[in-house]
Chains A and B, each alone.
Chain A
Amino acid sequence: MTRPYAGKLDIKHGTVNMSHGSGGRAMAQLIDQIFMFHFDNELLRQHNDQAAFKVNAGRMVISTDAHVIAPLFFPGGDIGSLSVHGTINDVCMSGAKPLYLSAAFIIEEGLALCELERIVISMAKASREAGVPIVTGDTKVVEKDNGDGVFITTTGVGVIPDGINISGERASPGDVIILSGSIGDHGMAVLSSRENLSFETTLQSDSAALHGLVKSMVEVAPNIHCLRDPTRGGLATTLNELALQSSVGMILDEQSIPVKAEVSGACELLGLDPLYVANEGKLICICDAADADRLLTAMHSDPQAQDAAIIGKVVADEHHMVQMQTSFGGSRVVDWLAGEQLPRIC
């Protein structure tokens, strides 16, 4: 195929400018040499404005997630890998097998091409590892100071195996609540690399695609009631969402919630509560008590959920409160996150 542009992008020294979003030759070059080159797959190679693919009969799911994060690169990941993992996780929390992704980039004028390429390479790697190709996309460029480097919106589609009905309104009294691993790793890893707050830590973001884990869980317990990944707002807010959606209450046991020492230490120092700190590679599963052992066994054999534990139970409660037995011996409400979690003064 003849290219409408000549030569190669100077990725090492170049930056994104407005012409890269204008629809002309420069944009074609950017798309070919960065996005197409790294995302390469059969559907993309067709050079259409959309991707056409066959689907089997059954229920499909679609989910979309916009990714804005500062800094763009953080310990354990970057906006690229995050944008792949985040949407795959939203799709698979229905029990679905994710099939394809689309990706829309809003790039701020002045972003170094080498940074953009680094992000795209990371996305391509995450997508390949997950086995979920990026099959269509879009690129826009906004003027300097109108963006934060780059924003990436990904959309994912998937299919739900027959007989699976996982949904946020299915929690019922008597169910148990399982958490797949330690909380707060992602949020604290990102905070540790913020320019105005850098602190040294070995913490890594837990950003990961969870569809493999979900598949093995659904295989042993097709009647899982709810699955959700506790991202923004953390474990506390996600459980409150589910309690409200299912019109139930929950009682957690603080002692059984895994928190890494680095996370609890950093949270103490900054006056934050790990229950409200974001995760990108964990899931909450609510199921019949009878299914819990089988699920835990399946989860423990997956490297992503070796610390999986039952952290509480679903109870009847007209106020739909999430309460917690503290390790200290008392009890308290675990509320929704109010506003943004703000560090305390003393």
Chain B
Amino acid sequence: MKYVNEFRNGDIAASLAIVIANEVDSDRDYRLMEFCGGHTHAIFRFGIQDLMPENVTFVHGPGCPVCVLPKGRIDNAIKLVEEHDVILCTYADLVRVPASKQMSLLKAKANGGDIRMVYSTQDALQIARQNPDRQVVFFAIGFETTTPPTAVAIQQAKQEGLSNFSVFCNHVLTPPAMRHILQQDGDQSANINGILGPSHVSTIIGTQAYAFCATEFHTPMVIAGFEPLDVMQSTLMLIRQLNSGTIAVENEYTRVVTAEGNRKAQAIMQDVFELRPSFEWRGLGLMPDSALQIRDNYADWDAEQRFDIEEICSSDVKSCLCPAILRGLNKPTDCKLFGTVCTPENPMGACMVSSEGSCAAYWSYGRFRQPDNSRTEQKMQEKST
């Protein structure tokens, strides 16, 4: 088992497609939100929508950490490079995100800024050790998945007394964003019937973190792996819940996710981070208790304190529909900017920046898509005969 091709098997997909087609109730619509950008990416990359009946629709959620990072935080990072001459270490998909004044980390790098793309927090620590005369800042971003490695790096820096290292913390939490989307009503409601829940995030926080979706909001959820067969199996599980009227948080991704999550990782996060009273999510606005900040005990390694980073409120492009797209209210193709002035080469809004963003996925994998399910039906007929 190598976990690359096993969950991408086309024959199993075709069989699952038949089961799904047989189980859907043709009199109802199934609007299912895939919360994570990883799911969005898989749906488009593997063409999963083609294998779904017409009344099963995927609504793309806000689960792309690069997409929801507000512009002001990128402005902050550029300022660190330009005014404080720090070595800024960042995950690569942040470098193209548009900041204010048509800047980005990529352009700041081209202007001479020392910005280095790293694959892990350990790389950033190593750069700090190798450059004792320079301040090294790690641009920490991501949901609960990438938070424990950041916490470990901060603990290590403290243990080693690595005084030239600090972390610019932008870690955010998934349950508050999910709650925010489920709370909306009227024309702000995404009208979703079920949720494909986060996969990697759930390895850390466990399935029980989402119990409120079922108990408070009566919305079924299935924790789904990122492989295409995971997405299809989870979709089937959601359809079965909806058809039977049971509402629960189920776990399809049992090969990795447990109910309680990774206790050790949670303890490390708890040691280093605390809830930030309020944090801005691009597209969703300010949300209370939705992000993390570094505890006082580790304040010496907090870049926000070391460099006195101020809050910058930067407005997004007005006609950009990303805020509504991130909440499941609109599709990328509803946006006037989509594919005209806003493309992956020149992203205007957050959803076009990362390949996990729904606009980038639509543009790169699905534009000019014709609503044509005949091939799938043909396949099913072949299969059943």
Contacts and interface: CB of A to CB of B under 8 A. Distances in A.
Interface stretch (A39-47, A218-226, A285-293, A326-334): A326-334
Contacts of A331: 47, 50, 375
Interface in B156-201: 200
Contacts of B48: 328, 330
Contact of A197 (B41, B119, B356): B119
A277 to B, nearest CB: 15
Interface stretch (A122-130, A152-160, A337-345): A337-345
B364 A329 contact: no
Contacts of A326: 10, 45-47
B123 A330 contact: no
Contact of A343 (B9, B92, B146, B343): B92
Contact of B93 (A196, A268, A330, A344): A344
B8 A346 contact: no
Contacts of A265: 2, 4
B141 interface: yes
A54 interface: no
B354 to A, nearest CB: 7
Interface string B115-138: 011110001000000000000000
A143 interface: no
A165 interface: no
Majority DSSP secondary structure for residues of A touching B: loop
Contacts of A268: 4
B365 interface: yes
A202 B161 CA distance: 39
B152 to A, nearest CB: 16
A345 B141 contact: yes
A265 B355 CA distance: 19
A6 interface: no
A345 to B, nearest CB: 5
A204 interface: no
Contacts of B328: none
A338 B365 contact: no
A82 interface: no
A270 B117 CA distance: 13
Interface string A291-325: 00000000000000000000000000001010001
B366 A332 contact: yes
A265 B5 CA distance: 10
Contacts of A261: 2, 4
B91 interface: yes
Interface string B356-385: 100010011111110000011001000000
A61 B66 CA distance: 47
Interface residues of A, number: 27
A343 B93 contact: yes
A339 B96 contact: yes
The residue in A196, A330, A335, A342 that gathers the most chain B C-beta atoms within 10 A of its C-beta is A330
Contacts of A321: 367-368
Contact of B364 (A270, A333, A342): A333
A221 B365 CA distance: 34
B93 A342 contact: yes
A15 interface: no
B330 interface: no
B17 interface: yes
B92 A329 contact: no
Nearest to B17: A329
Contact of B355 (A196, A270, A344): A344
Given A261-B2, A265-B2, A332 B354 contact: no
A199 to B, nearest CB: 10
A216 interface: no
A325 B14 CA distance: 14
A327 B44 CA distance: 13
A344 B354 contact: yes
Interface string B35-67: 000100100111111110000000000000110
A139 interface: no
A328 B10 contact: yes
A264 interface: yes
Interface in B323-347: 343-345
Contacts of A328: 8-10, 13, 46-48, 51, 228
A325 B49 CA distance: 13
A122 B213 CA distance: 63
B47 A196 contact: no
Interface string A233-270: 00000000000000000000001000001001100101
B95 interface: yes
5 contacts: A321-B368, A329-B47, A338-B343, A339-B96, A343-B92
Interface of B: 2, 4-5, 8-10, 13-14, 17, 38, 41, 44-51, 65-66, 91-96, 116-119, 123, 141-143, 145-146, 200, 228, 343-345, 354-356, 360, 363-369, 375-376, 379
The 6 closest A-B pairs by CB, nearest first: A330-B47, A338-B344, A330-B50, A328-B46, A342-B92, A332-B365
Given A342-B92, A345-B141, 8 more contacts: A196-B119, A321-B367, A326-B46, A328-B228, A329-B379, A333-B366, A345-B356, A346-B142
